[in-house]
Structure 1
Amino acid sequence: MDQRFSYNISLSGENDINVLMPRTLFRFIIRVFYENTLVPELGRSSTLISSQTFFQEGPDFLQTLLWPLSSSLTPFGTDIIETIVNVIVDEILDIFQIDDVVASSSESQPQEVPLWIVINIADNSMHAATQDLLRTVSASEEAIDTLLKKSTVLQAECCCCICLDEFHLNAECYTLTCQHFFHKKCITRWLHTSQTCPMCRQPLRTPND
């Protein structure tokens, strides 16, 4: 991958299920940011796929979802997309497994497992002077209460980027609007001194902004 670009990926959800039936549906909600700006083509995509199909065709499925990146105004090519796809697929396959023994009723509604994937791609050659300013201004208590959402960690071998303590799978965490996750006490302390996400540096916005 071009060393000009760097990226980070966060994967989170609201369930504590790791063993799935073949008919279980993954609902992918993907947000992609380039230099902290939402990429319109992938701003709020939401797509369903059965867990069994994903285990068989995961890379091709995600390549299709992320392909608009190669035709947008962003300057990176297909190599970074392939790299990101492989990282996401590996993470999901580490977290979940399918139980082929347990048969699900054809009449029952398949269970949905929501997966929020946030990808932030940065251009290392660009400078973000405006974000330096935002990092010196604290968020209001009202904004903090509005922005933080209780969630569950679904990403293996990850840690809170503020305190660096490792999260266990299915541990409680708190996400921002960009879906990056932290310990509540860590992110609350951070927001008292900054208005940006400590992971992707996205300026924080409440629904009223």
Structure 2
Amino acid sequence: MTPAPLTKTLEFEKKNQNMPKLPKHVKVQKRPIPHPSTPSPYSGSSSPKTIYVSSSSPTMGVVKRVQKYLRAAENRATAKLLSGNNKGKKGDRRNQFAQLAQSNEALKKEEVFVKATGRAMERALKVGKWFEARGEDYTVSVKTGSVLLKGENAELSKSAMRKRKRAVARLEGEQELPETRTRWVNMVEVAVSLK
């Protein structure tokens, strides 16, 4: 017996509207989802660490990447403590405890996001489940949402129309077509941070 998919428990808001039917000589060319490039793990805490997952991404590979980002965040948070600037000052212990508390707070705020759409959502949820199983070290939160995508309407080439025998359909109705079509795709965002 196969386990139930993790996406069955999620609820998504339906945002897509009914679109007019396209003529047979027009095909929708889908564009890739626009997103910013992935920052370096060593960049500061001001840049959000986001990992985009596809349906073919290996689960453990994504887990290792998330762990790498979290280790780098931990190193950044404790760098001030480990630097030798505090030696010989009065109130050393109090300063160290205050810096330790600040670094712990900074570490809790820094999250790594795993994002996925469509069939890849299952993969992102598996990554979240893996970190949830190790709950004493990590906090995991899951958010659902939608992403607006655009697709261009493109007419088929003449050779493709001949192959599909759709030349007759083209003659039937010449109507004005919009250049792009927009649609909403479900998205999952798994946020992982150290406790």
TM-score normalised per structure 1: 0.21
Q: Which has the larger radius of gyration?
A: 2
Larger RCO (CA under 8 A, 6+ residues apart): 2
